[in-house]
Amino acid sequence: MPIPAKPVIGVIACNRMVEGEAALTVKARYVEAVQKYAGAIPLICPSIDDAAQAETIISRLDAILLTGSNSNIEPSRYGAETGRAPFDPNRDGMSHALILAAIAARKPVFGVCRGLQEINVALGGTLVDQRDGGTIEHPHHAPDGVSLEEMFGFGHEVAVEPGTVLAEVTGATRLPVNSVHYQMIGALGEGLVVNARAEDGVVEAVSSAPDASPILAVQWHPEWRPDNRPHDLAFWRRVGEISRD
C-alpha cells in the first residue's frame, strides 16, 4: 500500500532583528514539534506586510500553526487603548488574515500561547494583561530575570472541561501545564468553546464548536520538551490527525 502523504502545516514567523537587520524567525522547537510529534511537514509562513496573500497561502497548506512569541498583539486590534511592547504589527496582520482565510476554507487552525490570543482576537474577543492588575489571583509567568529552564519550569494545574476536544484528546480532568504568559483572554471570541481553565478562571484552552471549521489552541507551551508529558504529546498527535483529515 502507498504511504499516505504527510500534511503540510504552515508555521507563522515573527519579525525580529538578527545581527543588526530585520529577519523572519521561528523558534526551532515549533518546527520540530510539527515534524516529530505531529508527523507533518512544517512550512514557515512569513509575516510580511501583505496580508492580502493569506488566502493564497492557505490554499497551499493543510493547516496553520500560530506560535508563541515575546511580542504582544497591538491593543487597537481588540479595542484597548494601551498595551505593552514589544509589538509585531506585520505578524498581527498576517495571523489575523490567515485565521480568517483558514476558517473560510475549513482548514484547521492551531494556536500556542500568543497563537491562542490571536485566534480569540480574530474572532472578536479581547485580551487582558495580568501586569495591569484586576482580578487575576495567581501569576501566570515566572519572575523576571530567571533562566529559560526556570521560566518554562513555572506552571500550575488546569481543569479540563468535560465533553470538550481537549478532554477527548487527553482523557484527563486536570493537567499540569507550564505557564509563560502575561496576556490572556478577556472576552471570548465568537464561536470558541472553552476547553480548560486555571484555578483563577483564566482560559487555558479553546476549540471551535462542533461541526465548525477546526480550531484547537492552548495557552501553555506543549512544544517545550513534551516527551515526558503525555497530554502534550497527545495534543501534537491530534494536530497531525486533524491536519491529515
Check if 137 is active-site: no
Tens digit of each residue's pLDDT (9 = 90 or more) over 69-89? 999 999 999 999 888 899 999
Q: Does the pLDDT at position 138 exceed 80?
A: no
pTM of the prediction?
Answer: 0.95
User: What CA–CA distance (Å, rounded) separates 219 from 166?
Assistant: 13
Residues with Cβ within 8 Å of residue 221, at least 6 apart in sequence: 68, 112, 113, 152, 178, 180
Tens digit of each residue's pLDDT (9 = 90 or more) over 165-204? 999 999 999 999 999 999 999 999 999 999 999 999 999 9
Contact of 240 with 40, CB cutoff 8 Å: yes
Check if 190 is active-site: no
Residue of 140, 181, 221, 231 marked active site: 221
What pLDDT is recorded for position 89? 96
On the CB side of 42, how many CA atoms lie within 13 Å of its CA? 23
Check if 21 is active-site: no
- For the domain made up of 8-244, the CATH class stated in words is alpha beta
Contact of 93 with 49, CB cutoff 8 Å: yes
Residue of 14, 45, 96, 113 marked active site: 113
Residue of 14, 96, 181, 223 marked active site: 223
